[in-house]
Copies of this chain bind each other. A is one copy, B any other.
Amino acid sequence: MSSSAFPLALNTGTTPNLDLREAVEVTAEAGLTHIGPWRHLLEGAGGAETAAKIIAGAGLKASTLCRGGFLTATEPEARAAALESNRAAIREAATIGTDSLIMVVGGLPAAAHVLGGEGDRGDKDIAAARARVGDGLADLVPYAQEHGVRLVLEPLHPMYAADRAVLSTLGQALDMAAGLPADAVAVVVDTFHVYWDPQVREQIARAGAEGRLASYQVCDFNLPIAADALKSRGMMGDGYIDFASLSTWTAQAGYTGPVEVEIFNQEVNDQDPRLTLATMKERYVQLVLPHLESARAGAPAETAAGV
Contact = CB atoms under 8 A, between A and B. Distances in A.
A281 to B, nearest CB: 21
A124 B198 contact: no
B245 A125 contact: yes
A159 interface: yes
Contacts of A158: 157-159, 196-197
Nearest to A167: B198
A16 interface: no
Contacts of A124: 240-242
A219 B110 CA distance: 17
A227 interface: yes
- How many copies of this protein are present in the complex? 2
Contacts of A195: 126, 161
Nearest to A123: B242
Interface residues on A, range: 35 or more
Contacts of A169: 198
Interface in A151-167: 157-159, 161-163, 166
A239 interface: yes
Contacts of A130: 198
Contacts of A172: 198
A229 B225 contact: yes
A264 interface: no
A70 interface: no
Contact of A229 (B171, B175, B224): B224
A307 interface: no
Name, among A130, A159, A175, the residue most crowded by chain B CB atoms within 10 Å (CB to CB). A159
A111 interface: yes
Contacts of A227: 227
B163 A111 contact: no
Contacts of A94: none
A74 interface: no
A223 B114 contact: yes
Name the 10 nearest CB pairs between A and B, nearest first: A161-B196, A225-B229, A162-B240, A158-B196, A172-B198, A227-B227, A159-B159, A124-B242, A158-B158, A114-B223
Given A158-B159, A168-B198, 13 more contacts: A108-B240, A111-B223, A124-B242, A157-B158, A158-B196, A158-B197, A162-B196, A162-B223, A168-B196, A169-B198, A172-B198, A224-B228, A225-B229
7 contacts: A108-B240, A114-B223, A158-B196, A159-B159, A163-B240, A168-B197, A168-B198
